[in-house]
């Protein structure tokens, strides 16, 4: 009998159309994501082949999540078909076995449910044959990857999900309960995601993910591009455990369901009570209690009654309560476990962060609730066979439609209120009392509710149009995807067409919603009017009566559209069109509007028209600048007037000046003895003819004014740096001299499509290329300049510019500030204005200041302490600080970074100012970032690298090292151990996302942050541990003595490495080559660790370790190197309560060779753990297996 049920189930679906529709959907999604860069599944493809084995398996893993509803449709139908079709009594009375019946149904439906995933392979293969493919982005077809993708992800995920749904459906005989099972899996997946931010929880996160997506990511997180192109995962390691656990769980659930299943019919208590009550009924007569009343009051009571019935019948149901509990568990997990400040550090539970986490946790639940309950509410009367009764009742169609629309909207409100309460409870539990209820209401019950309301309207429309509930679900999903992807594929980015979309916005405690509010309000009105139009149409098309044919319903809708309905529709249509016209005027005419493709076209044109004739052309250089800046924050307006002195440092006369003007700003330029001879407004490029030419050593003056004033509102705010409180901009809005490579098209794949070749890289490292060394990598048009600024702002704000504050005054209701830079510095400055509190202190005559929003004072003392510790360490070891002030200045979270300008360091409100640093074991990110930016006052603002490969080694890597030394001095070695774990993890992960070529540190590119930041930290710390901190610092002090504020030629990475080599003993010169000249990685792991007691409290530890050394090329292809080196071994005591690491019992360097090694050493105390390279000094391919628990022999 098993075979009969299995074959029936299989052929039942093969004969229908749904299976093939699902295969087509998956094939289209996979095709689109492989063929186009506009559609993504599981993230960007980076530099890997579009059909790489890693890409194939990623698609299979992620599509298992996407296909949840498909699997549910097949398996739930198989489990409940006999009950829903009322054929169970007929079938169950036959002599069939329980296992044969259940397993035949299950395996038939599950095999069918796994077939749509084959559409993934179909789509990828077809995409490879698509027209216009770049052959360099496609590799050979890896059939093994397709097979393993299906076997490792597709089939196990379908079996587990199918088992869960089948068990729930057969035991409860309810589609709703099956739906809850899917939600439970989504909760588990989401919880696993929240754990990933902390390295200590990653293994647990990999085991908790029922779909294996996170697990796959962990198993392949350190794969290089070369490995992604040829390797695929098989069942081993953490992925094997994940598959075994969840597949085993699925089979166990299936076994329990088979054991609990009964062929006998189940009668609920509710039904029994109904039968008892119905048994005594006599014939019902019709009693007319009164006349039928009409009027507005009656209509309102009818509407409220419908809302009350639908709302409470939903929220009182067990199913909805379970959904709310799931949503709450998921939200609390995200609120409690998400560590988003870096290095496993959590942020303080400020309200906007809570809202972001709630939004991310609740979104899928809200979409699922809207999707499911829209169908339940619209079809409730018809499925209960009461539609004839309700259709005969004396109320208009809009009562029924509006009642259900409002009740579903209230359900969404309830869910959002639950998230809001969870957020405030989390804040209170963390001792945070600044709840900002108004912000919760504005974001969750305002903006988010608006978006969800638009989805409610769309979902209701889908079910009104569809002939049955399941086609309504399908239509809603299709409309949702079409509204998202169609405009994307067409390159349309206007918010006028994407239903329910609002302009992007970023809340800040400094300016609230101020710069974004006008656009948000108007677009919200626009889409609300459109939603009213859609609702009127749905009301007219609402099915009333037995007629279901589309044409008949359409005729009925036309007949209903008369009188007040017609006039209401016309009025709403007119208002909607008027608001739409107003939006068009503001976003397309009053303000500039450009799509991404148009911006890329302009970048292409800039490069094609100007590169060959402008790049490399000699230009004068800036030596002195005076700024006069007037800010009007309340109007989002500024006017900057600049006067620059230019000098000809070339050996030939200069007859032209090439200028680049900033986008979005009105700029006027006057050049002494200069005439405008070329103006390309679309490219924001001008050329001035100098007559007479500027002789070598000659000077001229250039004056300009740069103006900006916000006008109306935009499709998306283009100048978020100019705001009502917290304006933050730099001098790049001023005219820039020469050819700007940053205006070229940077996307490698897009460049290939347009025939532009590979992206322009930095000039090759060549210490003898004095021409290239005459330019630094920050400012090609200047060296060290003098700057003076007079800046005015509103009376209640403080404006900050570079340099010492000479004086301040008030005039005509405005505040003025006069600044002058104390020492000629880089032409790289910022200007900030906000309503600040200021913390002030002094260190050896240097004024130290922190400008902060009054409500963000939590970490200000720690910032001030870091400034002082940094000044002390750097001045002692690297040379004097050249400014009279050191300022940290908070700016709004429109950007999330800290940046160093001469003497001033802007710091985003969303990182250090809200970091929670109360746990002593956490890395103090606030202290570290300030120390890093302070280090830039030496590395970049004193010693600046030439514009060639390796420049950021001199700035970013040395700033990392400097900050690490201050951190270690302040917090000790254990914090360094944790810090380097995260740095190593970030570097190894990023190698696989390299879009160009990985470079050794000596030749690092400016945009390769994962190398100069992450690898740089590990490399410099290792070097310090090997040759000593004093030797490294001596080399760096030599660098500052030779190159600080030096005129060109600028130093290169060769100068740094030479200085380090002078301080490095000859036996470690090979180490310098490994660290800076090559891409070298190790693979060290502890095979076993044993101990035995000696006399006293001494123990002998025996480690068996496997050591290997590799050298990688720019794509990540690795070749093994033989080696015999001294590597660190160590042993540690059990950590004290609340501590992450135990005391160091032994730490020494021992010689190891390639392959297996047995190492024996003694400890002063009983060890808990031991390992090789325990402090992660080496760049290790898998750093997690370097240390293990020691076992007694």
Enclosing H/E stretch for 1083:
strand 1080-1093
Question: Is the domain of 258 the same as that of 305?
Answer: no
SS3 234: coil
- In the predicted model, what is the mean pLDDT of residues 243-268? 79
Residue 993 falls inside a structural domain: no
Number of domains in the chain: 3
Distance of CA 1019 to the CA centre of its chain: 28
509 vs 549: which has the higher pLDDT = 509
| Structure confidence by residue, pLDDT tens digits, 812-859 | 999 999 999 999 999 999 999 999 999 999 999 999 999 999 999 999
Contact present, 73 and 110 (Cβ < 8 Å): no
Minimal CA–CA distance to 1121: which of 1065, 1079, 1172? 1079
Per-residue confidence (pLDDT) for residue 283, from 0 to 100: 40
Q: Which of 563, 590, 617 finishes a domain? A: 590
The pLDDT, as a whole number, for residue 71 is 86
**117-131, 192-206, 507-521: which has the highest mean pLDDT?**
507-521
**Is 127 within the bounds of a domain?**
yes
- Please say whether the dihedral angle defined by the alpha carbons of residues 608, 613, 616 and 618, taken in this order, is positive or negative: negative
Residues 228 and 363 grouped into a single domain? no
Q: How confident is the model at residue 268 (pLDDT cuts 50, 70, 90)?
A: very low
Residue 307 within any structural domain of the chain: yes
Spatial distance between the Cα atoms of 243 and 862, rounded to a whole number of angstroms: 46
CA atoms of 199 and 345, how far apart (whole Å): 11
Say if residue 70 is in the same domain as residue 149. yes
In angstroms, rounded to a whole number, what is the distance separating the alpha carbons of residues 884 and 903?
Answer: 8
Of the pLDDT bands very low, low, confident and very high (cuts 50, 70, 90), residue 292 is low
Asked whether the beta carbons of 214 and 1105 are under 8 A apart, the reply is no
Q: Please check whether residues 9 and 65 belong to one and the same domain.
A: yes
For residue 1133, what is the DSSP state?
A: P
What is d(CA 1132, CA 1138) in angstroms, rounded to the nearest whole number? Answer: 16
**How is residue 288 written in tokens?**
């007319």
The b-or-e profile of 928-937 (16+ CB within 10 A means b, else e) is bbbbbbbbbb
Do 53 and 98 share a domain, yes or no? yes
pLDDT at 274 over 50: no
Instruction: Verify that 253 and 304 share a domain, yes or no.
Output: no
Q: Are residues 131 and 43 in the same domain?
A: yes
Give me the pLDDT at residue 263, please.
62
pTM, whole model, 2 decimals?
0.88
Say what the pLDDT of residue 743 is: 93
Between the alpha carbon of residue 631 and those of residues 346, 643, 794, 895, the distances in Å are 36, 18, 7, 20
Q: With cut-offs at 50, 70 and 90, classify the pLDDT of residue 916.
A: confident
The answer to whether residue 373 is domain-embedded is yes
Residue-wise pLDDT for 952-997, tens only, equals 999 999 999 999 999 999 998 888 888 998 899 999 999 988 888 8
pLDDT tens by residue, 1084-1100: 999 999 999 998 889 99
In this structure, the strands spanning 885-891 and 904-908 are parallel
Owner of token pair 């290329």: 769
Establish if 597 belongs to a structural domain.
no
Report d(CA 679, CA 686) in Å as an integer. 5
Residue-range definition of the domain harbouring residue 567: 298-590
Q: Which long-range contacts (CB under 8 A, 24 or more apart) does 575-578 make?
A: 575/529, 576/526, 576/529, 576/530, 576/532, 576/533
Q: Of the residues 590, 625, 640, which one is the last residue of a structural domain?
A: 590
Q: Band the pLDDT of 515: cuts 50, 70, 90.
A: very high
CA distance 426 to 348: 11
Say if residue 457 is in the same domain as residue 397: yes
**One domain, residues 251 and 307:** no
274 vs 782, higher pLDDT: 782
pLDDT tens-digit map of 1007-1028: 999 999 999 999 999 999 999 9
- Is the domain of 303 the same as that of 260? no
Average pLDDT of the residues of the chain: 89
The partner residues of 1109 in beta bridges, in order of sequence, read 1082, 1121
**pLDDT at residue number 277:** 42
CATH number (domain holding residue 1086): 2.60.40
- In this prediction, residue 340 has a pLDDT band, given cuts at 50, 70 and 90, of low
Are 401 and 467 in a shared domain?
A: yes
Give 661-714 pLDDT, tens digit per residue. 999 999 999 999 999 999 999 999 999 999 999 999 999 999 999 999 999 999
Two tokens at 857? 């004072």
> Which of 737, 511, 509, 738 has the alpha carbon at shortest distance from 644?
737
- Please, which pLDDT band fits residue 342 given cuts at 50, 70 and 90? low
Give the residue from 521, 556, 590 where a domain finishes.
590
Q: Is residue 75 part of a domain?
A: yes
**In a shared domain, residues 343 and 254:** no
pLDDT given at position 499: 92
Whether residue 645 lies inside any domain: the answer is no
Domain assignment present for 636:
no
- The yes-or-no verdict on residue 1073 having pLDDT over 80 is yes
Q: Is the pLDDT of residue 33 over 70?
A: yes
């Amino acid at each position: 009998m098993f075979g009969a049920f299995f074959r029936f189930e299989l052929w039942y679906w093969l004969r229908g159309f749904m299976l093939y529709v699902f295969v087509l959907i998956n094939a289209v999604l996979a095709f689109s994501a492989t063929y186009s860069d506009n559609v993504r599944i599981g993230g960007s493809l980076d530099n890997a082949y579009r059909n790489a084995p890693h890409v194939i398996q990623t698609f299979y893993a992620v599509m298992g999540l996407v296909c949840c509803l498909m699997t549910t449709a097949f398996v739930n139908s198989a489990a409940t078909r006999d009950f829903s079709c009322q054929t169970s009594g007929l079938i169950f009375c036959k002599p069939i076995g329980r296992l044969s019946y259940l397993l035949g149904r299950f395996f038939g439906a599950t095999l069918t449910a796994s077939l749509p995933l084959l559409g993934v392979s179909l789509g990828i293969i077809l995409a490879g044959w698509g027209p216009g493919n770049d052959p360099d982005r496609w590799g050979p077809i890896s059939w093994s990857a397709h097979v393993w993708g299906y076997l490792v992800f597709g089939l196990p995920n379908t079996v587990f999900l199918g088992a869960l749904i089948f068990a729930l459906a057969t035991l409860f005989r309810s589609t709703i309960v099956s739906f809850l099972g899917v939600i439970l899996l989504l909760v588990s997946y989401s919880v696993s995601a929240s754990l990933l931010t902390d390295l200590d929880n990653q293994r647990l996160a990999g085991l908790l993910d029922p779909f294996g997506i996170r697990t796959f990511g962990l198993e392949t997180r350190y794969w290089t591009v070369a490995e992604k192109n040829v390797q695929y995962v098989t069942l081993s390691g953490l992925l094997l455990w994940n598959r075994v656990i969840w597949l085993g769980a699925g089979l166990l659930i299936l076994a329990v369901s088979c054991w609990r299943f009964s062929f006998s019919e189940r009668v609920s208590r509710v039904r029994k009570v109904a039968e008892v009550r119905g048994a005594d009924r006599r014939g019902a007569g019709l009693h007319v209690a009164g006349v039928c009343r009409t009027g507005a009051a009656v209509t309102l009571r009818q509407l409220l009654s419908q809302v009350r019935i639908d709302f409470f019948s939903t929220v009182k149901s067990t199913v909805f309560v379970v959904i709310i509990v799931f949503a709450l568990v998921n939200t609390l997990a995200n609120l409690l476990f998400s560590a988003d400040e870096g290095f496993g550090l959590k942020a303080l539970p400020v309200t906007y962060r809570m809202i972001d986490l709630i939004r991310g946790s609740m979104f899928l639940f809200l979409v699922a609730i809207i999707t499911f309950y829209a169908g339940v509410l619209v079809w409730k009367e018809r499925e209960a066979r009461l539609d004839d009764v309700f259709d005969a009742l004396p109320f208009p169609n809009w009562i029924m439609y509006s009642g259900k629309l409002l009740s579903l909207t209230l359900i969404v409100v309830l869910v959002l209120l639950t998230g809001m309460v969870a957020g405030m409870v989390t804040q209170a539990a963390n001792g945070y009392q600044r709840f900002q209820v108004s912000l919760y209401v504005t974001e969750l019950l305002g903006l988010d509710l608006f978006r969800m309301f638009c989805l409610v309207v769309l979902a209701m429309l889908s079910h009104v149009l569809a002939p049955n509930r399941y086609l309504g679900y399908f239509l809603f999903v299709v409309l949702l995807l079409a509204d998202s992807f169609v405009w994307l594929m067409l390159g349309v980015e206007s918010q006028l067409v994407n239903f329910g979309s609002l302009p992007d916005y970023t809340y800040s405690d400094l300016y609230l919603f101020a710069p974004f509010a006008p656009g948000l309000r108007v677009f919200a009105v626009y889409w609300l009017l459109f939603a009213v139009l859609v609702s009127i149409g749905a009301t007219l098309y609402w099915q009333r009566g037995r007629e279901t044919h589309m044409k008949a319903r359409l005729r009925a809708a036309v007949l209903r559209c008369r009188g007040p309905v017609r006039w209401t529709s016309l009025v709403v249509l007119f208002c909607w069109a008027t608001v739409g016209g107003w939006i068009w005027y503001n976003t397309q005419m009053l303000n500039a509007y450009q799509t991404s493709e148009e911006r890329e076209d302009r970048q292409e044109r800039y490069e094609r028209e100007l590169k060959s004739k402008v790049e490399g052309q000699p230009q004068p250089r800036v030596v002195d600048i005076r700024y006069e800046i007037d800010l009007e924050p309340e109007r989002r307006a500024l006017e900057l007037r600049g006067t620059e002195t230019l000098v000809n440092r070339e050996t030939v006369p200069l007859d032209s000046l090439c200028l680049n003007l900033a986008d979005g700003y009105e700029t006027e330029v006057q050049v002494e003895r200069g005439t405008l001879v070329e103006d390309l407004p679309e490219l924001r490029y001008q050329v001035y003819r100098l007559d007479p030419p500027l002789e070598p050593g000659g000077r001229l003056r250039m004056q300009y004014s740069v103006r900006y004033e916000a006008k109306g509102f935009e499709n998306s705010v283009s100048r978020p740096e100019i705001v009502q409180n917290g304006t933050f901009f730099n001098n790049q809005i001023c005219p820039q001299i020469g050819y700007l490579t940053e205006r070229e098209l940077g996307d490698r794949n897009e460049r290939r499509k347009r025939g532009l070749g590979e992206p322009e890289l930095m000039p090759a490292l060549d210490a003898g290329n004095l021409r290239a060394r005459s330019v630094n990598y920050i400012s090609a048009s200047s060296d060290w300049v003098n700057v003076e600024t007079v800046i005015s702002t509103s009376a209640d704000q403080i404006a900050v510019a570079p340099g010492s504050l000479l004086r301040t005054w008030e005039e005509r209701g405005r505040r003025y500030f006069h600044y002058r830079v104390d020492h000629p510095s880089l032409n790289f400055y910022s200007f900030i204005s906000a309503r600040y509190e200021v913390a002030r202190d002094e260190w050896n005559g240097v004024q130290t200041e922190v400008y902060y929003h009054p409500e963000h004072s939590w970490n200000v003392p720690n910032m001030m302490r870091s400034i002082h510790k940094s000044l002390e360490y750097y001045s002692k070891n690297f040379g004097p600080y050249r400014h009279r002030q050191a300022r940290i200045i908070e700016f709004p979270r429109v950007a999330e970074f800290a940046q160093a300008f001469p003497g001033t360091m802007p710091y985003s409100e969303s990182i250090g100012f809200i970091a929670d640093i109360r746990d002593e074991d956490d890395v103090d990110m606030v202290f570290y970032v300030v120390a890093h930016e302070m280090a830039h006052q030496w590395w970049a603002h004193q010693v600046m690298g030439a514009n060639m490969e390796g420049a950021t080694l001199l700035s970013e890597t040395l700033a990392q090292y400097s900050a690490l030394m201050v951190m270690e001095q302040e917090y000790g070695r254990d914090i360094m151990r944790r810090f380097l774990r995260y740095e190593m993890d970030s570097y190894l992960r990023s190698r696989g996302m390299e879009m160009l070529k990985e470079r050794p540190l000596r030749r690092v590119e400016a945009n390769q942050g994962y190398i100069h930041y992450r690898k740089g930290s590990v490399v410099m710390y290792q070097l310090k541990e090997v040759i000593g901190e004093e030797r490294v610092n001596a080399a760096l002090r030599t660098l500052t003595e030779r190159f600080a504020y030096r005129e060109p030629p600028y130093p290169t990475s060769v100068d740094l490495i030479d200085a380090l080599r002078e301080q490095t003993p000859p036996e470690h010169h090979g180490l310098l080559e490994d660290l800076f000249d090559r891409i070298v990685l190790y693979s060290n792991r502890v095979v076993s660790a044993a101990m035995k007691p000696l006399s006293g409290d001494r123990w002998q530890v025996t480690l068996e370790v496997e050591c290997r050394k590799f050298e990688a090329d720019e794509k990540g292809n690795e070749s093994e190197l033989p080696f015999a080196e001294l590597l660190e071994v160590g042993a540690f005591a059990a950590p004290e309560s609340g501590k992450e690491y135990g005391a160091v019992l032994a730490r020494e360097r021992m010689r190891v060779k390639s392959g297996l090694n047995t190492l024996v050493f003694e400890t002063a105390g009983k060890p808990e753990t031991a390992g090789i390279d325990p402090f992660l000094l080496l760049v290790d391919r898998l750093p997690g297996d370097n240390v293990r628990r020691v076992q007694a022999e």
